[in-house]
Chains A and B, each alone.
Chain A
Amino acid sequence: MPSWFMPQASTSAVEIDNLILMITVIVGVWFVAAELVFFWLIWKFRARDGVRAQYVAGEAKSEKKWVSYPHYAVLVFDILILIFALRVWNNIKISAPPGEERVRIIAQQWAWTFQHAGPDNILDTADDIRTVEDMYVQVNRTYHFELHSKDVVHSFSVPAFRLKQDAVPGRAINGWFTATQTGTFDVQCAEICGIGHGLMPAHLHVRTAAEHQAWMAEVAGTGAAPAEAADMGTGEVLAHADTARVQMGAMQ
């Protein structure tokens, strides 16, 4: 299960992992049962000399019940899974707890820019903090983020948070998270976005309140001028692509 490999570093992580566990148990039982019946039938009805197969049309109700009862049961379990899946979905994507902090996340080929709202907690003011490839959040605070893309479709994915949302150019997409563990976690791009898709990591630093305040005091105001460091113009993109192509050609 995910928690074997990944820390559960946000409130949604626990919720999603529980849902996954529940589905695993339900479909696991069904799967094992179906395969057991399957292999038992193969063994039980293997061809033997002098034993003829039976003629079973399967159209009579008394025969069909062997298929239709499991079938109704599948429906019942489907509904069970649905209820839980939709509840989790609702908690994560439809409704959101009130936001305590704001951050804007801007994706582009092939970098992440993070615009933290800064001490006043309002975006697009002079005390905004812009960082590239590093995002800083405070533990146990609910963040509302606004996701932008400058060029193609990207996806903001933080596996440790079980958080994933596509960034679509032309749209500002809202979401939220609440980190519950301190530490540094990977941010990945989860939608293919061109040559540098695999080289588009960022780091999400979750810190205690004291550490976070100290950091803010240190760097406040760097967002007033847009950080251009990460901007790779079209020309550069093509140059990058060209290099890649030359390498590829040389290898063929």
Chain B
Amino acid sequence: MSSSKPIATTRSVMNLPTGRLALWWVIASEIVIFGGLLGSYIMFRLSHDAWAEQAAITSTLAGATNTFILLTSSLSAVLAHQAAERGDGPRAAKMLRLTVLGGLGFLIVKSIEWTGEIQHGYTITSNLFWSFYYTAAGLHGLHVIAGMICMLIVARAAARNQELQRVEIVGLYWHFVDVVWIFLFPLLYIAK
């Protein structure tokens, strides 16, 4: 199937590989989605001072651990890209799988954290802060899962030195997910 690419896909009038160009548009549309959600959150946060007390309940340790994990997985994603640039498919695949492992770690920390909070009675319906907390982090988590799946697919091909240009594209997406978390972390965990 991969050999039947149309000519349209291979053209590059803007001097940018088509895949990367498309990925920038994906990120552009994701910016407004997350922007809409976080913008709404910030409006409410600024008008409800009482939310500081809710934000104090969230575990900064869990948030910081997850930030650390995502930053590290971003490093392995960019190293995968470096390897792919050199044409070293197997190493790129290895690095991508490491990144997936990071994503898995992120999800594990997240689930432990959420389990604890739900057991303490802080559920999505507790109040508006927790609604935003679970919705924003949940939407981000879905992006993490989607990124992991894409990365596994790309890694499989990359291990055989196929479609190496995709390593960079999936990496860009992963960095974007990382950037979203970089903003979620202070918004949901630190600002008290």
Report A-B touching, CB under 8 Å.
Answer: no
A residues adjacent to B (C-beta < 8 A): none
